[in-house]
Structure 1
């Protein structure tokens, strides 16, 4: 979020040389005059409008468009993202547009199928390293919008992708970005998450482009029981009573998924 700070100026009065009047000094009767009040400065709008009532953006770079969209979009937290929580592109407020020329915005959802080498054979103990994880990425919905800030726009997530009974090996990713649909070379090769990510959602997704304004990751519930093909091979909650393993989804330390280990969806070009 960007914030404009108003600078306030205040005057002060008193003896500039630091001396004080002595008790023997005769008193002087006069009229007290209130010091003038300095008005607060009005913050300059980040995106001021012209005579036509819009902000000129015809010469904007991709970076400028992304910065403006980032202010206006609202991606629900992955942990609570359901079919009732759409991605929202907000209407402009005073000082932020609207724009004279629309910006092309894509809202895209991907299904992430996670696999792990040697997973499902047993539940690792507290001192064991987690298996190597990787993911396959498949676009399930993409909505293209023309955005200028004159109205609110909503994009509803795919219900099945965020269903409560989805596979424990399946995660979801949504991104809001500007321009044309992302190409395969712009998609993430690595996704990092951890034990907190499993419970509340979120993570670090490294898109290979600067066109992404916002994203939200909903990680899989139990990647440690998933086969290399992304199928659960054990009950993720069937954990032996072992000291040091308080969470049935343990261990879920920070790990990376390398898409180079699997083939991407054929829906993407080079």
Structure 2
């Protein structure tokens, strides 16, 4: 059962292969979503300061009826925080908002503030300052693991060269038709686990006739096919939903995509328009070109 399977981070910490993404789940609804997911067997919950739902997620974690040690909770340092002092305060702020004694994984949400996403300044110095705060919190036991999100190869190398504790994770946009193979390989070559957010392409992949046909071949849904694809690439998959029916279906992955079909999926034409999500920087900028 995929919900019981894990990868191992560079520091030996186990991270569940499938998690619940909570982007766009309101703070009011987050506790219920987390509790429903945990009841279905999910043990990995992903949130962020920028999502505005850390309080609800924390409430769900505390009240789900499962021991805290059995759950893996991720949050993200706001993308605009690029100084040591701000990062220290923000890490403690997340712990307080979540209402947890520790966070399993905390990552820098983006190498650039969202308003500068895709521009030339990669904020190398600022990211190392924020990382120093994460390292200290990690060494103090506040965080069990630390990592990155939306970091490209140059950004990753900056962190590898300037850090004492190496990044353990890089969470990136990765799905059928958008598989940044060079970034994934670079991470994996350096012992960094890659996490795929929006594995269903923010819903746009549901409209793809080729995927619909291939899903029928395996007698699965398009979301199941897409999530399975990211897992077979060796990635953590983080589909987001507040619907327990979808949560259950997303975890029903007892099938394997053939090597030939995996190759087809990797070569599929890149999505050019993410619909309403295109207003968000990660969907509107061709960051991996």
Tell me the TM-score normalised to structure 2 length.
Answer: 0.21
Structure ranking higher in helix proportion: 2
Larger Cα-atom Rg? 1
Structure ranking higher in strand proportion: 1
Tell me the TM-score normalised to structure 1 length.
Answer: 0.22
